[in-house]
Structure 1
Amino acid sequence: MSGPSQEVVAPKAPQRIVILGATSAIAEAAARLWAANGARIILAGRNEARLNKIAADLKARGASEAIDWPLDFVTADAGAELGKMVDRLGGLDLLLLAYGISGDQGELERNPAAAAKVIATNFSSAAAWSLAAAAVLEKQRRGTLLVIGSVAGDRGRRSNFIYGATKGGLAHLVEGIAHKLAPLGARAVIIKPGFVETPMTAGMANNGPLWAKPDAIAPIIVRAGEKGGPVVYAPTFWRGIMLIVRNLPAAVFDRLNI
């Protein structure tokens, strides 16, 4: 005799959200979708004027609360600052880490200070904030950490291996956090976009079929906040592309100008 049927409950949309790097084009597009569901959102970043404008827009789109939080992620005490944010919201359903810088590979190789800045921003500070978020989620035994990485972290390439190294290291960190949190009911997801039309990529030729707009990436991020992971490619076709790239023999890979 079969047991009683169980109702399938859809994942609850996050309502208390912190966005680190809220002025990024991808983060702003995702924030608009969360705002439409009435979320309370803290928008953290360095450009206070831009944060004010985004907060006003999100309120107009339905956000219950949109709080601009001016902050330098590299110099801030991640644990202490995140604690203030969590207290302000009364808990944390989701944290999106969306900030980062790229830099020119040649310049980074010639200029150790410039390379150190990319590493400090993309890995060292991002790792500190990810670990701070993980500590909150572990204590709550619920909630989600979303971190925007890059397909550039999947294999070192001559064109951007310093940037790629920071994203690759961050991806391993987030996967480890996901593994630690899984038995507790909390989650962590590394999201790996390919080419996206943002200010960071403004200097690159971006008219091919592999390019996406922030509004196409945002729904993938929102879905990742509710289920899936710990690794999500955005758009999904990058999973297959990077599987090939990672497994190309060195003799073949070294002949590619990528």
Structure 2
Amino acid sequence: MQNIIIIGATSAMAKEVAKLYATEKANLYLIARDTSKLDTIKQDLTVRGANTVHTAPFDANQFNSHPALIEQAFNALGRVDVLLVAHGSLPNQELCKTDSMKAIEELNTNGVSVISLLTHAAIKMEQQKSGNITVITSVAGDRGRQSNYVYGAAKGMVSTFLQGLDQRLSKSGVHILDIKPGFVDTPMTAEFDKSVLWAKPDKVAKIITNRIRKRSSLSYTPFFWFFIMKIIRFIPQFIFNKIKL
């Protein structure tokens, strides 16, 4: 029976991951900002077969609350098999272009808060010498684009942090997984026009849980984004500057 912590548990992808673990009768500890949504999700996961479901509220940018939050989650579950970090926001890039405080807020939400939480959780995982840390970042972190470079900068920061964390925690038997989704059809992206490149949250959730189980290091989700981003990364800057992306 697995023990799972999910931070940002009300996000579309996180909810689908929780459903999959609930059918395996896992013990779940769900953390998110919206307590009413957490209560609804808890009821649903209990019906789906979860052994226990704990919930806790948090504000990602209240950094001083992070140590106690992680401590409580680990104390409630004992050994933690999987920690999934899935919280975040989709910034208004136009606003971030002119409002530095808004840009900093979004960098804190999507980047610094994740690093803060992982710093405390990594100590726990290192001590137990097992488990998995999975973080949902984004292909946007691979290259800064005019349409979302604040968001991309935050996600790129987390991905770089995870690379170093992986090298450190591999010596303790802890598996690190950086999940980089492309376009995912969620409430956060409801206003975007959809195409064949868009994935559904339940499909992404299955990819995530399969990679955790196999201790895979594959990040791009779905995998065809590896080829798309390889092309985007290697476009010369003078050409890239003429492209509207």
Q: 1:179 aligns to what?
A: 167
| Residue aligned with 1:28, SS | helix
Find out whether 1:193 has 2:181 as its counterpart. Answer: yes
Of residues 98, 107, 115, the one that matches 1:127 is 115
RMSD: 1.2
- 1:228 to partner: Cα distance: 3.7
Paired letter, 1:135:
I
Q: 1:214 aligns to what?
A: 201
Cα distance in 2 between the residues matched to 1:118 and 1:218: 25
Of residues 149, 168, 182, the one that matches 1:161 is 149
In the TM superposition, what are the counterparts of 1:14-163 in structure 2 within 5 Å? 15-76=2-63, 77-163=65-151
Kept in 2: contact 1:175–1:231 (CA 8 A): no
The gaps in structure 1 that reach 5 residues or longer are: 1-13
Identity, % of aligned positions? 38
Q: 1:11-67 CA deviation, whole Å, 9 max, x = no partner?
A: xxx711110000000000010000000000011011111000001100101100111
- Structure 1: 4+ residue segments shifted above 6 A: none
Aligned length: 244
Kept in 1: contact 2:129–2:173 (CA 8 A): yes
Kept in 1: contact 2:23–2:48 (CA 8 A): yes
Kept in 2: contact 1:45–1:70 (CA 8 A): yes
Kept in 2: contact 1:175–1:230 (CA 8 A): no
Kept in 1: contact 2:131–2:175 (CA 8 A): yes
Q: Considering only CA atoms, is the larger Rg found in Structure 1 or Structure 2?
A: 1
| Residue aligned with 1:142, SS | coil
- 1:183 to partner: Cα distance: 2.0
Seen in structure 2, the aligned counterparts of structure 1 residues 229 and 246 have a Cα distance that, compared at 3 Å, is farther
The gaps in structure 2 that reach 5 residues or longer are: none
Kept in 2: contact 1:146–1:190 (CA 8 A): yes
Q: Indicate the structure with greater helix content.
A: 2
Q: TM-score, normalised by structure 1?
A: 0.91
| Residue aligned with 1:96, SS | strand
Q: 1:165-218 CA deviation, whole Å, 9 max, x = no partner?
A: 000000010111111111221111110000001111112112x11101101100
| Residue aligned with 2:134, SS | strand
Paired letter, 1:180:
R
Q: TM-score, normalised by structure 2?
A: 0.96
Of residues 223, 226, 231, the one that matches 1:239 is 226
